[in-house]
């Protein structure tokens, strides 16, 4: 039985998706990042974060990084009530990756879940508590990338600690 053109197109797209996934996995592994060690970040989200953030040193602080990811809340006050809302600024793809991380942490027994539950107990709605958690996770990702960068710099040439540019075998 012959495939219809639509089925053939879908199969071709599936192969392209598999290839892209494989390429992203290889790039993340080659980068040496430890982002995948964080609860809620798998290889594809780690690749998205690395690609969209670029060098972590371009951000002066965790707050600047959070603003870029769209997880820094915006105060919207009315009278005596002080509330914060989602910032529509920032990279929505990065925000999505952090949202996925937050949802994963809430569903497991993690410090993120405990933080979320404390915020809920303090009277915040689900959305408000989730926003707070995403902001905190943005800081966690920032610190992890700084740690990765420091480890990479300490490793020396070629990414290996103790490596030198000159060879002692030649002379």
Q: Kindly report, residue by residue over 72-113, the tens digit of the pLDDT.
A: 877 777 777 766 666 678 899 999 999 999 999 999 999 999
In a domain, 127, yes or no: yes
| pLDDT score at 88 | 73
| pLDDT score at 6 | 92
In a domain, 103, yes or no: yes
- Residue numbers of the domain that contains 124: 31-147
List of residues 6+ apart from 86 with CB closer than 8 A: 70, 73, 74, 131
In a domain, 5, yes or no: no
116 confidence band (pLDDT: 50, 70, 90):
very high
In a domain, 11, yes or no: no
In a domain, 6, yes or no: no
In a domain, 51, yes or no: yes
Q: How many domains does the chain have?
A: 1
| pLDDT score at 169 | 45
CA distance 157 to 83: 49
In a domain, 9, yes or no: no
Q: Kindly report, residue by residue over 41-51, the tens digit of the pLDDT.
A: 999 999 999 99
In a domain, 128, yes or no: yes
The model's pTM: 0.78
């Amino acid at each position: 039985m012959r495939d219809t053109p639509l089925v053939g197109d879908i199969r071709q797209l599936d192969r392209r998706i598999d290839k892209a996934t494989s390429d992203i996995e290889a790039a993340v592994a080659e980068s040496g990042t430890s982002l995948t060690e964080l609860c809620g970040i798998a290889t594809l989200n780690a690749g998205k974060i690395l690609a969209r953030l670029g060098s972590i040193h371009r951000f002066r602080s965790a707050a600047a990084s959070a603003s870029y990811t769209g997880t820094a809340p915006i105060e919207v006050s009315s009278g005596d009530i002080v509330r914060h809302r989602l910032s529509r600024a920032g990279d929505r793809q990065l925000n999505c990756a952090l949202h996925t991380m937050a949802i994963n942490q809430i569903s497991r027994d993690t410090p993120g879940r405990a933080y979320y539950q404390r915020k809920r107990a303090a009277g915040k709605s689900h959305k408000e508590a989730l926003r707070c958690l995403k902001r905190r996770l943005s800081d966690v990702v920032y610190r992890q990338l700084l740690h990765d960068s420091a480890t990479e710099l300490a490793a020396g040439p070629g990414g290996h600690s103790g490596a030198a540019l000159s060879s002692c075998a030649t002379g």
